Amino acid sequence: MELPHTHIEASGLTGNSRAAGLPAGLGADWSFAHDLPCPRCRYNLRSLRKPVCPECGFAFRWQALLSIICPRCSTSLDEVDEHLCPHCFLTLDWTELFASADPRRRIDYEYTSRPGFRVAVQTWAVALNPWTFWRGKRLDSVPIEPRLKRLATQALMLMLAGLLFPLLLHALNWSLIELRDWLSLLILTAVPPATMIGGLSLLRNTWRRTGVSPLSVGRLQAYACASPALSGALLLIAASAAAAANHAVAYLFGGRFGGSSSALYFDPDFFFQYIVTGDLLWAWHPVEAWFNISLVATLLVLNLIWLDTFLLIGARRLLRLSVWRIIPIYLAVKVVTLLALAVLLFRAKLQAPWVRFLVYPEGPW
């Protein structure tokens, strides 16, 4: 694409001696490895090292031509040759910055040439190990905001599908779930990610003081949406398993699961009943009880423990914040999350036996 003359002048793409310099720290064998037209004559600058077009003699700056910005504070690096960002003093890896300017170089969701749902699933699967996941993400790579928004949208759509699928099966009489039990699943699945991930956007002054750009925070939030995505996938699998079990039992024994009028269904109260009272007083069948206990326990681990670990490691490795800066931010958001989760669950379950046991431990409940 040919650049307008005004853009060439405004962005430092001028034919002076300053423009022909190379940033500090580039390897002796470095050359630009991708197709890129000269702004003046459209000659392909691929495989060049010196920022001078061999066809027309136009001198430029690689930083300006590639629109390189600081990954942490988003400051333009058009006129920077040093190894430190002049605004936030981040150490710059110019080789990595120039290489990441070409999307085809990456295999992750941000930089792949085909950011489809399959790549999103692969990204969420890798994110199950936060240490490995964040080790492969460099702060020096520029965030691709449209891709991050698309990834977050796909995660939220998968979570929504997982929440609606049990209702669909209930409507088809393939499995059972009461409205208050569905609300509990909604709270367990949506509230922790919404408060933990969304709460990061409310700390704009904190990010500004630490020199972290909104784009870097947005990258952390987008990848953390793996939590609702995996929760949605878990609910889809659990609902499908419940429907398959109900049909198999109906086919083999001519009745519903457990030989009663009730099918295997979703009821988070089994988990809370077991935690609070240590008993399963009203379970139709042990398999039904442990099915729900396992489901709720997995959702809690995924949306509380794993999400916390993922965000903490991301803040440390991606944003490069010190532990003393991370802890206050984490505690502030975590307190809000736990309070919201406790209040909403208690409110949704006022008539549940485990709630009555907490309020009236002596009974009757």
- Residues 313-338 have pLDDT tens digits of 988 887 778 888 888 888 888 888 88
Say whether 241 sits in a helix, a strand or coil: helix
How many residues are there in the chain?
Answer: 365
* Residue 21 and residue 137 in one domain: no
Separation in Å, CA 176 to CA 31, 40, 171: 62, 67, 8
| pLDDT above 90: residue 105 | no
Give the mean model confidence (pLDDT) for residues 14-28: 59
* Residue 231 and residue 299 in one domain: yes
Residue pLDDT, tens place only, 133-145:
887 665 556 677 8
* Residue 209 and residue 250 in one domain: yes
Mean pLDDT of the residues in the chain: 76
d(CA 116, CA 67) in angstroms, rounded, equals 26
What is the phi/psi pair of residue 352, to 5°?
-75, 145
* Residue 237 and residue 316 in one domain: yes
Give the mean model confidence (pLDDT) for residues 32-49: 80
d(CA 198, CA 194) in angstroms, rounded, equals 5
Is residue 201 included in any domain, yes or no?
yes
Give the rounded percent of residues in the chain with a pLDDT score beyond 90: 15
Q: Which residues contact 209 (CB under 8 A, 6 or more apart)?
A: none
Q: Which pLDDT does position 80 carry in this prediction?
A: 85
d(CA 144, CA 223) in angstroms, rounded, equals 12
How many domains does one find in the chain? 2
* Residue 146 and residue 294 in one domain: yes
Q: What is the CA radius of gyration of the chain?
A: 27
Separation in Å, CA 294 to CA 24, 198, 288: 55, 27, 10
Residue 171 DSSP label? H
If one compares 167 and 66, the residue with the highest pLDDT of the two is: 167
* Residue 243 and residue 276 in one domain: yes
* Residue 147 and residue 190 in one domain: yes
* Residue 75 and residue 183 in one domain: no
* Residue 154 and residue 250 in one domain: yes
Q: Which pLDDT does position 19 carry in this prediction?
A: 42
d(CA 322, CA 309) in angstroms, rounded, equals 15
Q: Which pLDDT does position 317 carry in this prediction?
A: 80
Residue 319's domain comprises: 117-359
pLDDT band at 18 (very low <50, low <70, confident <90, very high): very low
Q: Which pLDDT does position 113 carry in this prediction?
A: 55
Q: Count CA within 13 A, CB hemisphere, residue 239.
A: 24
* Residue 236 and residue 288 in one domain: yes
Q: Which of 348, 271, 350, 337 is nearest to 304 (CA)?
A: 337
Among the listed ranges 18-22, 189-193, 194-198, 347-351, which one has the minimum average pLDDT value? Answer: 18-22
Give the rounded percent of residues in the chain with a pLDDT score beyond 70: 73
d(CA 253, CA 316) in angstroms, rounded, equals 55
Give the mean model confidence (pLDDT) for residues 7-14: 40
